[in-house]
Amino acid sequence: MKSVTLRISRFDPARDTEPHFEEYTVRVNEGARVLHALHAVRDEHDPTLTYRYCCGSGQCGSCAVRVDGKPVLACMEEARDGMTVEPLDLPVLKDLMVDLEPVIAKIARICPAPDAGLPAREEIEAIKPLRDCIECLCCVSACPALQVTDFAGPTVLRQEMRLALDPRDSGDRITDAIEKGLFYCTTCKRCTEVCPKEIDIPGKAIEKLREIANRRGLTLPRHQEVARLIQETGRSVERTQPTFLEQVPEVIEPDGPVRGEVGFFVGCMFNGRVPQTALDAMEVLKRNGIRVIVPHDQVCCGSPLIRTGQTSFVEDLKKKNIEAFARRGIKTVMTICAGCGATLKNDYETPFEVKDVTEVLTEYGIEPPAKLDITATYHDPCHLLRGQGIREQPRTLLREAVREFVEMPSQCCGAGGGVRSGVPEEAKALGAKRDEAVRATGADVVVTVCPFCEFHIADCTDVPVKNLVTILLEGYRKKDAEREGGA
Amino acid sequence: MVLYNAPTNKMHVDEIVDAHVLVVGSGGAGVRAAIEASRYGGVVMVSKTIAGKGGCTTMAEGGYNAVLRDRDSIQVHREDTLKGGAYLNDPALVDALVTEAPERMADLVRWGAVFDVTEDRMVAQRPFGGQRFPRTCYAGDRTGHEMIMTLLDRLDATDTHLYQEVSVVDLVKDENGAVAGAIALDRDGNVILFRSDATVLATGGGTQVYDISTNSAAGTGDGFAMAYRAGAELIDMEMVQFHPTGAVYPYDARGRLVTEAVRGEGGILLNARRERFMERYDPERMELSTRDVVARAIATEVLEGRGTSRGGVYLDVTHLSAETIESRLPVMLEQFLAYGVDIRREPMEVAPTAHHIMGGVRITPECRTTLPGLFACGEVAGGVHGANRLGGNALAETQVFGKRAGEFAGKAPARSGRIDDAAIDERLRMLDGFFEGTVNPADVRKDLKLTMWNQAGIFRNAADLRAALEQIRRLADQRLRAASTANLLECCTVRNMCTTASLIVRCALLRPENRGAHVRRDAGVLTDPATSPFGHTYISLAREGIERREVAA
């Protein structure tokens, strides 16, 4: 037995105007789950504590709560001393019990055709990954799009795709899906992160539904424009200034001895819209002994197409890109765009390894820059944090480069998944939430590693937004200036 | 309209709902019954959880038995079921089960269920214990979940009126003694009176009366207790299936089901000395022997000192490919990973756990109970599985008998008798009484569960059973306390648990032989299942005993 102290959000609509926290200390067995701690509170302290539970084994989806802010199944999450237990971010009925029924009611039911037979094996296998949902609504609680739009929720769209894949279903799932907010999803993958069954709703449902919508000509006009641009130019960004590729040779040799070599996948944003940041990155790599090979025949990675379901010529792009790097014998391809990186890692099958710049720099180790005299916070790009599982590396680098680093709760900025172009009012609303979070940190600068996040957050806040490589370069320049000044 | 609100009563009926058919319970059997009954109109379904989240169907992992292949036959399924049930099954119920299981499976497929299928587009089947043909259909190891999701889709297409998180407290009868509905509590403790022409009891099982159980929190035996109090007869309540493989640790997750599919897919059992001990208990069928045999084998290994330090044995699938484990047993993989065990690389530790109550309300093949107006189906009904249930037969039972109960309840005539107001007043007074109580129901529940596990478990004897019965009676006499109206339900639940436990123990005392899951270490008579002179135990408010039967020599 061990002692666990927990804070529980209590709310009785008959008495309270708003929820409040109560703290309890209970004895629980080794390995006890959050649910068992709640049982102990109910049985030993307050029999009126209200929470839902049933199967106790992660199969019924009754007991989802937020523990330290993250939606989890109480019956599967281990109880921790000092934890805070709150209801899901849904209308609270009492204490930890929320109203699940309105969301469950939006989850579509199959409309079987009268002559429906057994699907084929491949059809069943395609449906299965979308069928594990236990309707716990962790994803609905966590989804940022739901905070600012009337998006029906990740699992609701999951079900639309499950039905779209079923030859027995006779419903019009695309029209349904669009009504339920198909284009509101920023593909931030927060839903997958909190899903007890790890269902990849953005990849396996949202993007696939958008593909079907695309085949029916229902892609948003702004997204179609981007697709046209890529098809015509190989790039998702129009040329308005000299591009990165126009400014650099194929091989960029480091200043000192060669410690390593990477191929550089530049990405459309860095190539066409913010080439200076990519040039900054080259300076940082040069300084740290890394040779960079830049195939000039690379094109758009296809991310803007895949995220919006316009996949008809994505295979061509993939082939061109893979050949561009493979032909030069490149073993490691580096990205500095979180979106390109996630796409190359997750949507490509590459004969080379793909690494984000923060992985490359932390693996080789960098020359310490002079610390900039600023307080910086860091915005986790969704496609880096969840798309590539990279959390620590950028923080490690940033801590080396600034006087003070302050954390900010991670949430999608609203730029991804074609939302910035397709549903600008949603992107703006999510950006405003980032602005609030940024200001709450009191930081002088917001640092990130994704050009889309950088661009979008800069639009939404007065606090300067900078790429991590630019910060590192500024640190090196400061170091050099101090040396010269000292000399 | 008379609202039952006598001045001395704080509790009163807040709402009255009229139905042609009232279905109590929202598991596989209840939803199937409601779907069928809805063809006759006026169906109300009462679910004590959010529909789809309660009961054991949702949790059922392994599969659904149905004869689907030419090489298999209804006759063999029938024989397997009878033999597995130690010939205590009601043959007419078994006939219905094995004959209609394939049709009910076809219903599910037609309604959109995502069962695994073979290359040649047939529902895939896996081997399960005690069966001579691999006839267990499955959806990975979340078969029951697949079924319930499909059934709820179908239910949604009917005009069934669904009351969620409303718990029936007791059945209500009319002046003629027919069941006429039920009295229930909603989430906040408001009283709802449901009045119906026919009532289908589909409340599931009740092995939560044991300390170690696979059942969901909803498996508290409410239906057995309510039917008994209403005067229905129950049979074979001593027949409690201990599933051989429940999780052993962590402590709070002990008893959690480790599906038979693990053994169906090739998992082997090893004791602490790494001996494949099933060779000594059933060399022919080994791990895929019937559940009663495997559970006793594991319990014996542990009792005789060959168990692990945690009191279990090993269940090992590490010889299977990671891909097989990931695709066929994903829930198992996920659950064990959550507790730090990767079953692709290390064995599970398992021990028996109370799983299923084979006994229950006595029914005819039309699901009629001994009370007019009351139908029963699913685990709350008795007689289908005899003394031991085959894995995969319970999910089939929910569909076959759910459909039958719904059909015959739907066809029931309108009821004419007046509802017995005095009985309703009595229930309201009982609810009031809980506010005056002194004992925390959680304490009673805990004591009851330990008593049942220690004295009415896998191995039984008369002295222990009598001691258990005495203790249950003491517990049932405790004056339970409700801290709020919302807590009334917990008092009612614990009351039901005490009743169900006493039915199990009383029937266990009535059966002097060893039969299937029922093992009396002090058995006075040695019987062979096929020729045993004993039939069902039976128990009701009016009588109790054990049937004798003529067996051809």
pLDDT at residue A276 in the model: 95
- Residues B124 and B113: their CA atoms lie apart, in Å, by 13
In chain A, what residues touch B59 (CB-CB under 8 Å)? Answer: 55, 57, 59-60
Burial class (CB in 10 A: 0-12, 13-18, 19+), A126: middle
- Has residue B5 got a pLDDT over 70? no
Touching B: A residues 196-215, CB under 8 Å: 197
d(CA B144, CA B277): 31
Containing H/E element for B130? none
Let me know if domain B426-522 sits in CATH 1.10.10.10.
no
What digits encode the pLDDT tens for the residues A347-397?
Answer: 999 999 999 999 999 999 999 999 999 999 999 999 999 999 999 999 999
Residues of chain A with CATH 3.40.50.1860: 368-486
Pick from A47, A56, A118: CB nearest B483:
A47
Q: What is the pLDDT of residue A487?
A: 59
Residues in B 130-159 with any Cβ partner in A closer than 8 A: 139-140, 142, 145-146, 149-150, 152-153, 156-157
**CB atoms B250 and A197 under 8 Å:** no
With CA atoms as reference, the chain B residue closest to A12 would be B188
Out of B49, B117, B257, name the one closest to residue A118 (CB).
B117
Q: Which CATH superfamily is domain B13-239+358-410 in?
A: FAD/NAD(P)-binding domain (3.50.50.60)
* B243 classed as catalytic: yes
Give the chain A residue whose CA is nearest to the CA of B218: A54
Return the domain boundaries, chain B: 13-239+358-410, 246-353, 426-522
> Alpha-carbon distance B417 to B333, whole Å?
55
Query: Which of A104, A118, A122 to mutate against chain B (most B CBs within 10 Å)?
Result: A118
A146-163, pLDDT tens digit by residue?
999 999 999 999 999 999
Confidence of residue B546 (pLDDT cuts 50, 70, 90): very high
CA distance B262 to B349: 13
A47 in contact with chain B, both atoms CB, cutoff 8 A: yes
Picking from A36, A54, A94, the nearest residue to B49 by CB comes out as A54
Chain B, 161 to 200: residues with Cβ < 8 Å from chain A are 164, 187
Query: For residue range B111-131, what is the model confidence (pLDDT) as tens digits?
Result: 999 999 999 999 999 999 999
- How does the average pLDDT of chain A come out, rounded? 96
Question: Smallest Cβ distance to A29: which of B118, B146, B252?
Answer: B252
Cα angle, residue B153 at apex, residues B149 and B155 outer, rounded to 5°: 110
CATH code of the domain made up of A234-363: 1.20.1050
Q: Please tell me if residue A132 touches chain B, with a CB cutoff of 8 Å.
A: yes
Distance between CA atoms of residues B74 and B99, nearest Å: 6
- Range list for CATH 1.20.1050 in chain A: 234-363
Average pLDDT over residues B475-499: 96
Class of A2-99 per CATH? Answer: alpha beta
Instruction: Say yes or no to pLDDT of B7 above 50.
Output: no
Q: How far is CA B226 from the centre of its chain?
A: 15
Residues of chain A contacting residue B338, judged by C-beta atoms under 8 Å apart: 58, 76
> Which residues of chain B from 462 to 501 reach within 8 Å of chain A, CB to CB?
483-484, 486-487, 490
Give the H/E segment covering residue B13.
strand B13-24
Residue A413 distance to chain B (closest CA, Å):
31
Q: A92 - beta bridge partners?
A: A98
Using a CB-CB cut-off of 8 Å, the residues of chain A touching B187 are 93
What would the pLDDT profile of B283-313 be if each residue is shown by its tens digit?
A: 999 999 999 999 999 999 999 999 999 999 9
**pLDDT surpasses 60 at A448:** yes
Residue A59 and residue B59: Cβ atoms within 8 Å? yes
Which pair of tokens denotes residue B92? Answer: 């007419």
Of residues B53, B117, B257, nearest to A60 (C-beta) = B53
Check if A113 contacts B (Cβ < 8 Å). no
At B155-173, the pLDDT tens digits run 999 999 999 999 999 999 9
**pLDDT number for residue B420:** 86
Indicate the Cα dihedral angle B307, B312, B313, B317, nearest 10°.
Answer: -160
Kindly determine whether residue B117 and residue A135, on different chains, have CB atoms separated by under 8 Å. Answer: no
- The reply to whether residue A56 touches residue B50, judged by beta carbons under 8 angstroms, is no
Our CA dihedral for A164, A166, A170, A175, rounded to 10 degrees, sits at: 0
Give the per-residue pLDDT at B6. 40
Q: Which of B47, B50, B53 to mutate to test the interface with A (most CBs of A within 10 A)?
A: B53
Is B328:B265 a contact under the CB 8 Å cutoff?
yes
Residue B536 falls in the annotated catalytic set:
no
Distance set, CA A211 to CA A51, A123, A308, B178 (Å): 40, 17, 7, 59
CA distance B283 to chain A (A): 33
pLDDT for residue B552? 61
Candidates B149, B188, B190, B259, partner chain A, best to mutate (most A CBs within 10 A) = B149
- Asked if the domains at B246-353 and B426-522 fall in one CATH topology, the answer is no
**Phi (first) and psi of residue A284, to 5 degrees:** -65, -40
> Residues B274, B387: contact at Cβ < 8 Å?
no
- Could you give phi then psi for residue A349, rounded to 5 degrees? -115, 100
- Pick from A106-110, B58-62, B481-485: least confident: B58-62
> Which candidate from A31, A48, A56 shows the least CB-CB separation from B484?
A48
What per-residue confidence (pLDDT) applies to B249?
86
CB contact under 8 A, B116 and A124: yes
- Which among B131, B108, B519 has a CA at the least distance from the CA of A110? B108
Per-residue pLDDT tens over the stretch A284-308: 999 999 999 999 999 999 999 999 9
- The residues facing B270 across adjacent strands are B314
Q: Which amino acid does the sequence have at A471?
A: I
Q: Are A55 and B59 within 8 A, CB to CB? A: yes
Is residue B553's pLDDT more than 60? no
* Chain B hits for A33, Cβ within 8 Å: 252-253
Compute the distance between CA of residue A398 and CA of residue B465 in angstroms, rounded to an integer. 69
The structural architecture, per CATH, of the domain B246-353 is: Alpha-Beta Complex (3.90)
Query: Which of A172-181, A324-333, B2-11, B185-194 bottoms out in mean pLDDT, i.e. has the lowest?
Result: B2-11
- Which DSSP category does A205 fall into? I
Closest partner residue to A131 (CB to CB) among B123, B146, B164 is B146
| A171 at interface of B, judged by CB pairs closer than 8 A | no
Inspect the interface and report whether the beta carbons of B330 and A134 lie closer than 8 Å. Answer: no
Q: Which CATH number fits domain A103-215: 3.40.47.10, 3.90.920.20, 1.10.1060.10, 3.30.200.20?
A: 1.10.1060.10
Interface check A131 vs B, CB under 8 A: yes
In angstroms, the separation between the Cα of residue B396 and the nearest Cα of chain A is 19
The mean pLDDT of B479-498, rounded to a whole number, is 96
Domain A368-486 sits in CATH 3.40.50.300: no
pLDDT at residue B3 tops 50: no
What residues of chain A lie within 8 A of the CB of B490, using their CB? Answer: 47
Q: Is the peptide bond prior to A47 cis by the omega test (within 30 degrees of 0)?
A: no
Cβ pair B202, B380 in contact under 8 A: yes
Write out chain B residues lying below 8 Å of A169, CB-based.
112
Residue, of B44 and A117, whose pLDDT is higher: B44
Reported as a single tens digit per residue, the pLDDT across B364-405 is 999 999 999 999 999 999 999 999 999 999 999 999 999 999
The pLDDT, as a whole number, for residue B550 is 80
Candidates A99, A11, A91; CA nearest to A48 is: A11
Contact B330 A132 (CB under 8 A): yes
Residue closest to B52 by CA, chosen among B122, B131, B150 = B150
Average pLDDT over residues A82-88: 98
CA distance B386 to B364: 14
- Return the H-helix or E-strand segment holding A189: none
